[in-house]
Amino acid sequence: MAALRAAKQALRKEIKQRVAALSNEEKQRQSLVVSQKLFKHPKYVSCKRIAVFLNMNDEVRTEEIIKDIFKRGKTCFIPRYKSSSSHMDMLELSSLQDIETLPLTSWNIRQPAEGDNSREDALFGGGLDLIVVPGLGFDQSGKRLGRGKGFYDTYLERCIRHPKGKPYTIALAYKEQLCLEIPVGDNDILIDEVLHEDDE
């Protein structure tokens, strides 16, 4: 276990440095390429209930995706993390403007407030068809390197127990986040697909 943790930590550091070297323009450019790939994806086109993350500065930008979800009349859910544990819920976002009303967390990302119970919780409703997953690093076989809190692995385990079953999972990545192989443990759940810009 210690060796796995150390390997993950070293890789996190390396990927963070690679992404930090990208200009904002390059992040925006790759984000749009990846978003366009998602918009054409059959799972995205057919899904009704989709969970998407509000990006941190070192993650693929998701604003265009959220705009598109509302444009197509899909139901959008976003994460609410409990910072003291690895628990996360996906709560409904009612509009693009709704994001502006959300409080900022210590990680500088917006999420519904702790006591905000007015939003539909995806798992108490009709489950999810698709989850767009963030992460620090990915390999081609769907292994994912998160930030070490286990939010998504824990959440996907809950989804698997939901009557609807596990939603399809698509990760969004900058090319700089791709690795030959990500070290994983028994609790790490594989992602179905990783979208990134292809080298033409």
pLDDT digits (tens, 9 = 90+) for 12-45: 999 999 999 999 999 999 999 999 999 999 999 9
What confidence score (pLDDT) does residue 1 get? Answer: 81
Binding-site residues sit at: 8-12, 54, 59, 144-152
pTM for this entry: 0.95
Binding-site residues for substrate sit at: 54, 59
Contacts 24+ apart (CB under 8 A), 104-110: 105/81, 107/56, 108/56, 108/57, 109/54, 109/55, 109/56, 110/54
User: Is the Cα dihedral 122, 124, 126, 129 positive or negative?
Assistant: positive
What confidence score (pLDDT) does residue 99 get? Answer: 93
2-18 burial code (b ≥16 CB/10 A, e <16)? eeeeeebeebbeebbeb
Does 114 or 71 have the greater pLDDT score? 71
Beta strands 49-51 and 130-133, pairing class: parallel
What confidence score (pLDDT) does residue 199 get? Answer: 66
Q: Does domain 2-195 have CATH number 3.40.50.720?
A: no
Beta-carbon contacts of residue 185 (< 8 Å; ≥ 6 apart): 1, 4
User: Is the Cα dihedral 86, 92, 97, 101 positive or negative?
Assistant: negative
Q: What is the per-residue pLDDT across 138-180, written as a single tens digit (0 to 9) for each?
A: 999 999 999 988 999 999 999 999 998 899 999 999 999 999 9
Count of all residues that appear for the chain in the document:
200
What confidence score (pLDDT) does residue 200 get? Answer: 52
Q: What is the per-residue pLDDT across 79-135, written as a single tens digit (0 to 9) for each?
A: 999 878 889 999 999 999 999 999 998 878 899 998 888 999 999 989 999 999 999
Binding-site residues for ATP sit at: 8-12, 144-152
What confidence score (pLDDT) does residue 148 get? Answer: 87
